[in-house]
Amino acid sequence: MIEKAQVLEALRGVQDPELGKSLVELGMVHDVEIEDARVRLTLALTTLACPLKERITNDARQAILALDGVRDVNISLREMTQEEKERVWPKQKPKSEKQGREPGVAEHLNDIKRVLAVMSGKGGVGKSSVAALLAVALRRQGQRVGVLDADITGPSIPRMFGLHETPPMGPVGILPAETRSGIRVMSINLLLPSEDEAVIWRGPLVGGAIRQFWGDVVWGDLDTLVVDLPPGTSDASLTVMQSIPLNGVVLVTTPQDLAGMVVRKAARMTWQMKVSIVGLVENMAYAVCPRCGERIEVFGPSQAFHTALQLGVPMLGQLPLDPELARCCDVGEIEDYAVDVFEPIAEKIAERASARPSTPIF
């Protein structure tokens, strides 16, 4: 004879995809009745317009049918009462008078274990490619990964992952887009009418958008959130370092000393904001001749080791100038790129990232 406790236990393994918590934990399961081998119950959804209600209902049905002795499951749907909604999303107070900022509407629902920012200080060094490769490598290790594209005026992350659709709006906040392998992504380009639309914003609007991407997006449970910072050391980078608890910054450079000079500026900004530097990655370090396999230093001898020595940070590794990577990024297939050369770098980043995140100023 099946019992109510068994049904509830089965439903503890079913999550609301938007909120990342079990249906039982969220108080969605009501009126469970068992007659012979038939189970009837009601699910209280955050809204009956929920775009994922069929998925939630089907997951719940399959979980109950997996119990021995259950032949049929009937699930009714209703919308949560206002009181039930307030239990799920209690009103949040400012974290402190010093911070003076209300948390985002989804911030208390997210459980993000580690946040890594990828920064260069200089444009054109492949920083976004490195951020995307890091996300792909961590995902292949089995981690739950997200990418926050903080490059508001020059976003490229969605194109690399082949994402073009506007992400859905959940009852609490914006739901991130999801790639084929399950990487969650949020970028301003996903919210524009056209990916070629220019974002002509002053600093305060850029900063506000980044804070919303952190606090108003339902990231759910993540092992690592990768933040792709724009070039430079101004508003966007400042907002990230002041508003988001970072476990470290990965610096990206190219062989030229000119790129190293600008990266050194980014490093000094990072230290001034009391954020730890994980290490330095040199991109476009060399090219491999397709005919003879000779390693060619297209941009001259590497200056990255000298830059890392000057800064006193670890040299994490070198990446080649690879036309196949460029092609994968252009056609939205970066998840199909062979990341063998990047995997040792990703492992070093995971090992060296600080266990203690920085403290946001506000």
Residues 274 and 233 in one domain: yes
Q: Which of 225, 245, 228, 226 is nearest to 237 (CA)?
A: 228
Burial of 32 (0-12, 13-18, 19+ CB in 10 A): middle
User: How many domains would you assign to the chain?
Assistant: 2
Residue 269 covered by a domain? yes
- For 23, 48, 80, 268, the CA distances from 171, given in Å and listed in that order, are 15, 10, 11, 41
pLDDT digit string (tens) for 247-305?
A: 999 999 999 888 888 899 999 999 999 999 999 999 999 998 888 988 899 888 888 89
Are 264 and 347 in the same domain? yes
Rounded Cα distance between 153 and 326, Å, is 21
Same domain, 170 and 225: yes
Q: Are residues 82 and 155 in the same domain?
A: no
Together in a domain, 166 and 262? yes
Structure tokens at 252: 């990206």
Our measurement of the distance from residue 125's CA atom to the centroid of its chain's CA atoms, rounded to an integer in Å, reads 21
Token reading at 312: 């006193």
Say how far apart CA 318 and CA 298 lie, in whole Å.
14
Q: Are residues 175 and 313 in the same domain?
A: yes
Alpha-carbon distance 41 to 64, whole Å? 11
Which residues are within 8 A (CB) of 196 and not within 5 positions of it... i.e. 6 or more apart? none
Q: Domain range holding 173?
A: 107-352
Pair (63, 129) in one structural domain: no
Asked whether residue 102 is assigned to any structural domain, the reply reads no
Same domain, 281 and 210: yes
Kindly tell me the sign of the dihedral angle through the C-alpha atoms of 43, 48, 50, 54: positive
For residue 361, tell me if it sits in a domain.
Answer: no
Please state whether beta strands 184-186 and 145-149 pair in parallel, antiparallel, or not at all (unpaired): parallel
| CATH number, position 53 | 3.30.300.130
Say yes or no: 131 and 24 in one domain: no
Asked if residue 127 and residue 84 are part of one domain, the reply reads no
Q: How far is residue 339's CA from residue 270's CA, in Å, rounded to a whole number?
A: 28
Mode of pairing for the β-strands spanning 29-35 and 145-149? unpaired
Kindly state whether residue 100 falls inside one of the protein's structural domains.
no
Is residue 96 a part of any domain in this protein? Answer: no
Radius of gyration for the alpha carbons in the chain, expressed in angstroms and rounded: 23
In a domain, 362, yes or no: no
Kindly report the CATH number assigned to the domain that includes residue 262.
3.40.50.300
Residues 6+ apart with CB under 8 A from 71: 36, 37, 38
Shared domain for 246 and 321, answered yes or no, is yes
Q: Looking up tokens 């460029």, which residue turns up?
A: 326
68-105 pLDDT per residue, tens: 989 999 999 998 888 887 777 665 444 443 444 567 87
Q: pLDDT tens, position by position, for the chain (362 residues)? A: 788 999 999 999 998 876 778 899 889 999 999 998 899 999 998 877 676 788 899 999 999 999 998 999 999 999 888 888 777 766 544 444 344 456 787 888 889 999 999 998 788 899 999 999 999 999 999 999 999 999 998 899 999 999 999 888 777 778 899 999 999 999 999 998 888 888 888 888 888 999 999 999 999 899 999 999 988 887 888 899 989 999 999 999 999 888 888 899 999 999 999 999 999 999 999 998 888 988 899 888 888 899 999 999 999 999 999 999 999 999 999 999 998 889 999 999 999 998 888 887 65
Q: What is the pTM of this model?
A: 0.75
Residue 52 sits in the same domain as residue 182: no
